[in-house]
Amino acid sequence: MDVDLTKEQIEARREFRKFVDETIVPYAEKIDREQVMPRELMEKIVARGYWAPELSKEYGGIGMDWLTFGILTEEIGRACSNVRNLLGVQGMVSHSLLRFGTKAQRETWLPKIAAGEIVAAFGLTEPQKGSDARNITTEAKHEGNHYTITGSKKWISFGQNADLVLVFAQCDGKGSAFLLEKDTPGLTVKPLNNLLGYRGSMVGELIFDGCRVPEENLVGMVGAGISYVAAHGLIHGRYSTAWGCVGLAQGCLEHCLAYTGTREQFGVLIKEHQSIQNMIADMLTGVTAGRQICYRAAYLQENKDPNAMMEISLAKYFTSEMAMKAAGNAVQIHAANGCSPGYPVQRYFRDAKVAEIVEGSSQIQQGIIARYAYKLHQHSQFTS
């Protein structure tokens, strides 16, 4: 509810919505259909300062607080999950570098990310290793003044056009993180098109055949790649996905409200049918609850609360499941039109299913949340 927002945040939401409606909505269907993120749209986002707004001014961002950033993410998710995913991935990489990168790495790469000069990708998932990140098989060998990386990554958002990839690999059996540039010899990129959803996220498979990266491209210490660097990036990714799912469900609701006010069946507008009203009620309830959960996660993240990470997992789990239900209802309300090109709800439905999987599937989040519940119970930390 807007009563939870400052006057500045309420005004920011109006500005975000106007920008999204005028600039992103006209591209959304084309991005999904052609499976490409237009450079001109990326430039418009950069020009508006929305590319990496949560980064501090020191690195070229505008220092946007976590709640305002969430509101921006929701509005973008309302229009296009691919654009939301693009900005989410940039945040995953930039925040990993901000927390664990060296001074030189931060000064070299963060301004370029913030300015939209480069596109970054988060290279964690492998063909045989998705959620089991600790047992990735990509290998990095320390040889002289460089590391040699061999292996592969798959289903990497914006892997097709990434200028910089944060790659996770085993070094002496310890999960580690490295920065790898797109022109590195031995790197092969294979497009992965025609996926169920996120079709405009330019997903790719990355194959490393003895790719050499200098020692100074190691992010954090050897052994800190999964538990620290990747985990930190995933927190940002889950936060972005949670807010994006609220936006996706809000988009479903808005399209259904408009559609049911014009479509007639059995002599009346379908909004008069109880079955339609039931689905509309579920959508509004889900969006309202999901937004409140995200508000809480934003507050905890902004205040560096130690429970913020767990609450973000809770938000990601709830909102992605809620968005999937909302999108299913939206398709049902639109009936055959909901399965047809030209109606956004079929795109929302496909993207919502992917949202239940990325940045840790619903089942992974359930495990995290259950452990959190036992921790709260043990320490009597449950609050109203």
Residues labelled as active-site residues:
359
Distance CA 382, CA 316 (A): 20
Name the token pair of 203: 């997903």
Pairing of strands 139-143, 187-191: unpaired
Going by C-alpha positions, the residue among 317, 288, 354, 330 that lies closest to residue 85 is 354
- Beta-bridged to residue 190, according to DSSP, are 205
152: amino acid identity, one letter = S
Tell me how far apart the alpha carbons of residues 162 and 136 are, in angstroms, rounded to a whole number: 21
Half-sphere exposure of 214 (CA within 13 A, CB side): 4
Which residues is 51 bridged to in the sheet?
Answer: none
